[in-house]
Chain A
């Protein structure tokens, strides 16, 4: 099974700052069948289900603010929030979907000062 890790476990930043969360996989998530990286990012706020932010590593889901951006390829990926807003406080998860079981990372908790 593919193991997915995230760092940091948590971070606390101020409004307007830039947040960077990394996700690493034990195997490449790039697949030659479609030349894409099979990685998604989700945001989960307390008491709510996860919400899809990006897929194919860097494609932003419709309606997601453009301050959220995904990047990376192969085994190393990043979610960047360019200018933090109060409502971005949440736990962020990455998920690989190249090979079942489609494992999630352990999550990164983002707090806003």
Chain B
């Protein structure tokens, strides 16, 4: 079935780095945009990054621009989020989700499905 599974969450010190991975299966990965969304404890959803099917189009929220890097490996059906210069307000569950595709419809940039999330805690 169509699914995405995140991994890599951990406890990290402020100023540290971490790389999250997201493994996709059950759909033609290289034809879909992929995104990362996070949710701080008890808070709402924050869209943070989005990558095009070929990895050329990339978008970031202002809150992570210059610190986080999204990338993908279409041969391995993986998408990554490299997080640098981590701060306390980066503490959150990080979700990976499938985005849009021309296979579905042009500009169909909603998210479905979502993974179960991976917890990143930034604390000294």
| Interface residues in chain A, defined as those with a beta carbon under 8 Å from any beta carbon in chain B | 1, 31, 33-34, 36, 38, 40, 42, 44, 49-52, 55, 61, 91, 93, 95, 97, 100-107
Q: Is the interface of A mostly helix, strand, loop or mixed?
A: loop
Q: Are A34 and B107 in contact (CB under 8 A)?
A: yes
- Selected from A38, A49, A52, the residue in CB contact (under 8 A) with B107 is A38
Given contacts A101-B47, A101-B59, contact A31 B108 (CB under 8 A): no
Q: Is the interface of B mostly helix, strand, loop or mixed?
A: loop
A-facing mask of B52-89, CB < 8 A → 1, else 0? Answer: 00000001111000000000000000000000000000
What's the minimum C-beta distance from A77 to chain B, rounded to whole angstroms? 14
- Selected from B62, B108, B110, B115, the residue in CB contact (under 8 A) with A95 is B110
B30, CB-defined interface residue at 8 Å: no
Q: Are B116 and A49 in contact (CB under 8 A)?
A: yes
Sampled A-B contacts (14; CB under 8 Å): A33-B107, A42-B111, A49-B97, A49-B114, A50-B45, A50-B95, A97-B100, A97-B109, A101-B59, A101-B62, A104-B44, A104-B45, A106-B44, A107-B45
| Minimal Cβ-Cβ distance residue in B for A33 | B107
Q: Are A52 and B45 in contact (CB under 8 A)?
A: no
A93 CA / B117 CA spacing, docked (Å): 17
B106, CB-defined interface residue at 8 Å: yes
- Selected from B50, B112, B114, the residue in CB contact (under 8 A) with A100 is B50
- Residues of chain A lying within 8 A (CB to CB) of residue B62: 1, 101
| Minimal Cβ-Cβ distance residue in B for A102 | B47
Q: Are B110 and A93 in contact (CB under 8 A)?
A: no
B46, CB-defined interface residue at 8 Å: yes
A106 CA / B39 CA spacing, docked (Å): 11
- Residues of chain A lying within 8 A (CB to CB) of residue B100: 97
Q: Are B44 and A107 in contact (CB under 8 A)?
A: yes
Q: Are A52 and B59 in contact (CB under 8 A)?
A: no
